[in-house]
A and B are shown apart, each in its own frame.
Chain A
Amino acid sequence: MQRAVWSGFLRSSEKFADRPALFAESKFVKYSELREISCRVAATIQAYRDPAGAPLTAVFAYRSPTAFTGVLGSLLAGNGYVPLNRTFPIERTLIMLERSGCRSIVVDEGSLPQVNKLLETASSPLMVLSPDALDFSSHKQHWPQHTFLAAHELKSAQSWREPSFEIDSIAYLLFTSGSTGVPKGVAVAQRNVTAFVDYMVERYQITESDRLSQMFDMTFDLSVFDMFVAWERGACVFCPSQKTLIKPGKFIKDSELTVWFSVPSTAVFMKQLGMLKPAQYPSLRLSLFCGEPLPVSSAAAWLEAAPNSTLENLYGPTELTIACTLYRWDPSRSPAESELGIVPIGYPYPNMGVLVVDDNLLEVSPGQEGELLMNGPQTSLGYWKDPVRTAAAFIVPPGKGEIYYRTGDRVRRPLGNAPLTHLGRIDSQVKIFGHRVELGEVESKVRDACGCDGVVAVGWPKTDSGFGGVEVFIEGQESPVEKLRSAVARDLPEYMVPRKFHFMDRLPRNANNKYDRKAMQKLLEEGL
């Protein structure tokens, strides 16, 4: 049965009306309160709908209650939401808003100052709605082409009308990051999200007594797990302020979290900062990681610090809706199942199909490496207003009758019942004098040799046929290079041994905090 993504929230808001749905800006928001304001936002969007606009509403809010009422209000109005982030450069936000075609935008107090810049350059009239704004009169004078609605001007919750639900109704439009090129908007349908949420709440047996972390900004799709998995079952989402995020250990303890979900990097830093001492976090019953490779050493340390928890590594690109494979960490079995010091990405969700293919999109034999293709109910609608890139990434492989998404990730096709192991990105495989070199393999050897987790290998210098060698960037303090080189050279053929090691206090990262290999390549091009 198809259902709207907000149906679980509405059910919980009746069943658990007086329980907290959200903790943000140091206060609890009850289900009944969250529903009331969200319905007012929704009713207002419905009343001022511009039929020429896309069925989307931008949410320009950051870690505030309005961020959440904005998401729910957009959905309850029958629109998908487009998260904007005031910690991003304003130019990027402008591109996202323009490309989306949104005509309505929900803004929180902290993001209001940046809105003026959006209003200056917006090519179409916008409806700006803020439950945090007391007075918009000067805005109204200054920008007569736009509509402004402050807190007291919102429509009543009673005037909200349940929107019609169509098969491809969009839940959200998320722009994938990257240091270069125009961001791509991934359109994810409500049915994609409900397929994901249904499996997650069952697998993890989420109940109203759960307390989930919200470590992810809304511009990162993993935040959808925090919100909609919690609200489906009446649980509470704990959204730390930007400053609280700096002390994740204190946040877990103070909030008595039961469910933790973050990028592995957070665990890596917590380990280095001495925040993963044994049995520190007994309240956690579930620890989930996603978004980048999870080092075996981090998983092991985390489980010691959170001994009552089950630890799972999730994997999935935005195009396949949040996550679509998972692996349960088992201290006795998992180290042997891991490759390159990285925890396996495991097994596909029950309704998702896996295909591991070669360059010609033909399935490789079990045990062989190839690109991971996946399909199933979480396959998103594709790239917003970009049929060319959609057709390139969402393809029908030879001999198959269904659309698969090309993840660009290199995996090993499992032998027997082995888990899928992630070996790197397709584009992280380079040719060095004709040899195929997986940069992830070089990184893994360097990680072992120097004891640092932050290691990125880059093909360099460029040649006509690929690259002349490999150079490595290491996040951390400079250590003797000769020792490092000889340690790595024991395990790698000569052409894979890094020619240079660059030590940096911090490696370049993209907007989602993933290491940015392209930025490092650029540093080399510019002679560092």
Chain B
Amino acid sequence: MNAVTPDAVQDFLREYVAKYLRGQGREVPADLPDDCDLLLSGYVDSLGLLELMTAIQDHFGSEIDFDQLDAEQMTIVGPLRRFIADQLNKR
């Protein structure tokens, strides 16, 4: 199986956030930089973030142990995508 790259996760996150914001009739940002905090930027609320985690699992087809990721870090794009790619490639 091909390795999942942090960029592939980035694409997924961008797509997800875009759909989320469009669903609420809000403006979609052009990019999600690595230092973007999804929660503090108001892109996704806390329940939305739980949904995002389940969507990541569904999309990449694997259970991810989110307990391994610090709550402060898991809402920030850079650490989040690297963590997910690491987890998926460990399988």
Q: A residues engaging B (CB < 8 A)? A: 87, 89, 179, 242-250, 263, 265-266, 269-270, 272-274, 475-477, 504-509, 513, 516, 519, 522-523
Given contacts A87-B42, A506-B20, A273 and B58 within 8 Å (CB-CB): no
Question: A117 CB to closest chain B CB, in angstroms?
Answer: 14
Q: Is B63 an interface residue (CB 8 A)?
A: yes
Question: B88 CB to closest chain A CB, in angstroms?
Answer: 15
How long is the Cα–Cα vector from A407 to B49 in the complex, in angstroms? 31
Q: Which of B19, B47, B74 makes the CB contact (< 8 A) with A265?
A: B47
Q: Which of B26, B54, B65, B67 makes the CB contact (< 8 A) with A269?
A: B54
Q: Which of A179, A243, A506, A516 makes the CB contact (< 8 A) with B51?
A: A506
The answer to whether B48 touches A273 (Cβ under 8 A) is: no
User: Can you spell out 15 A-B residue pairs with CB atoms less than 8 angstroms apart?
Assistant: A242-B39, A243-B39, A245-B46, A245-B47, A246-B75, A247-B66, A250-B67, A265-B47, A272-B57, A274-B65, A475-B51, A476-B55, A477-B58, A509-B48, A519-B25
Given contacts A244-B71, A519-B24, A505 and B19 within 8 Å (CB-CB): yes
Q: B residues engaging A (CB < 8 A)? A: 15-16, 19-20, 23-26, 39-40, 42, 45-55, 57-59, 63, 65-67, 71-72, 74-75
Chain A residue nearest to B65 in the complex (CB):
A274
The answer to whether B71 touches A87 (Cβ under 8 A) is: no
Where chain B touches its partner, the secondary structure class is helix
Question: B32 CB to closest chain A CB, in angstroms?
Answer: 15
The answer to whether B25 touches A272 (Cβ under 8 A) is: no
Chain B residues, Cβ within 8 Å of A87: 42, 45
Chain B residues, Cβ within 8 Å of A519: 23-25
Chain B residues, Cβ within 8 Å of A248: 50
Query: Apart from A246-B39, A274-B63, what 4 extra A-B contacts exist at CB < 8 Å?
Result: A243-B46, A244-B71, A265-B47, A476-B58
Q: Which of B40, B46, B47, B54 makes the CB contact (< 8 A) with A272?
A: B54
The answer to whether B50 touches A266 (Cβ under 8 A) is: yes
Question: B73 CB to closest chain A CB, in angstroms?
Answer: 9
How long is the Cα–Cα vector from A516 to B24 in the complex, in angstroms? 9
Chain B residues, Cβ within 8 Å of A272: 54, 57
Question: A280 CB to closest chain B CB, in angstroms?
Answer: 12
Q: Which of A242, A269, A475, A508 makes the CB contact (< 8 A) with B53?
A: A269
The answer to whether A506 touches B23 (Cβ under 8 A) is: yes
Chain B residues, Cβ within 8 Å of A245: 46-47
The answer to whether B49 touches A508 (Cβ under 8 A) is: no
Question: B20 CB to closest chain A CB, in angstroms?
Answer: 5
How long is the Cα–Cα vector from A417 to B85 in the complex, in angstroms? 54
How long is the Cα–Cα vector from A507 to B23 in the complex, in angstroms? 7
The answer to whether A273 touches B54 (Cβ under 8 A) is: yes
